[in-house]
Amino acid sequence: MNTNFKKRMRAGLVHLALSLLVAVLVILIIFRVWYPGALAELQGVSHILLIMLAVDVCLGPLLTVIAFNPRKSLRELRVDLGLIGAVQIAALVFGVSTIAQGRPTYLVFNIDRFSLVSPVDLDSRGLEIATHRAGVGGLSWLGPRTVSARLPADPKAREEILFSALNGGGDLAQRPEWYLPYEDERETALKKLRPIAELKKANGLTEPQWRALLDGLGEDPARIGYLPLMAYNKREGVVFIDRRTAEIVSTAALLPVW
């Protein structure tokens, strides 16, 4: 193995190590903060992210191996490696910004279910309302805020929401003007809870799978109920809720029973 090849490989490995470090940080932010629990799977972001990072992590170091030549001047190496780094960073920023726009900013209890709402689900007026709505909070960068949405008492307002949903516009969950603190609808949520036992048959879970699910819910699964969860592109999941406090325990990519 000649000296030039060793130096190329060494430069590529250094670039690979740096790329992997950045990739790990990005994965932690996305899966632990923006899309916690089963939300990444429900929003369809998992495979997109992994493909993006695989291409970004592999392509940059590979180009470094190809472009690195010890015979080049220091200035030429800086230009070549700088261009590779700039392209890699630009691709990463574009991909992460796209994922950030689709991040769930609200987990909205409405009527008898929860809905995931992202910034892309809100128009400019909705974004403005969400930012200043008292007791609700603005668009979060630290995971979805849990809120509720209550149908207005005015029949005309209800009709407007209905026709908006039928025409492909925002439904109740995508209308921040009707958001309330989740605490205001806790009792309603508790009344709508469904038994988790029905999920076993509905999802065809084997006994080991069912036991693993129950173990993940804590020491007393009998305290847990669930509500359906509507996510991106009509994907369905469930939200597990404590029957005593109405606090959210976790989410899962399981089909609910309606």
pLDDT, tens digit, 9 for 90 and up, residues 24-78: 999 999 999 999 989 998 988 887 787 888 878 888 888 888 888 878 888 888 8
pLDDT in tens, 98-139: 899 889 999 999 989 999 999 888 876 776 776 676 566 778
Angle between helix axes 46-67 and 74-101 (nearest 10 degrees) is: 170
CB-based contact 186:109 (threshold 8 Å): no
Task: List, in order, residues 6 or more apart from 83 with CB less than 8 Å away.
Answer: none
State yes or no: pLDDT of 241 exceeds 80.
yes
Q: What is the C-alpha separation between 125 and 121, in angstroms, rounded?
A: 11
d(CA 96, CA 22): 12
User: Can you tell me the distance from the alpha carbon of 34 to that of 74, in angstroms, rounded to the nearest whole number?
Assistant: 41
pLDDT of residue 246: 94
Q: What's the Cα-to-Cα distance from 48 to each of 31, 81, 187, 201, 253, rounded to whole Å?
A: 13, 27, 38, 30, 17
- Do 171 and 165 contact (CB within 8 A), yes or no? yes
Q: Which amino acid is at 159?
A: E
The residue length of the chain stands at: 258
Instruction: Report d(CA 162, CA 172) in Å as an integer.
Output: 8
Amino acid identity for residue 76 in this structure: E
Phi-psi region of 58 (alpha: psi -120 to 50; beta: other; left: phi over 0): alpha
Q: In this predicted structure, what is the pLDDT of residue 106? A: 92
d(CA 50, CA 209) in angstroms, rounded, equals: 25
- The answer to whether the predicted template modeling score (pTM) of the entire model surpasses 0.85 is no
b/e map 119-147, b = 16+ CB within 10 Å: bebbeeebbebbeebeebbebeeebbbbb
Output the six-digit token pair for 158: 């209800």
Pick 211 or 59 by higher pLDDT.
211
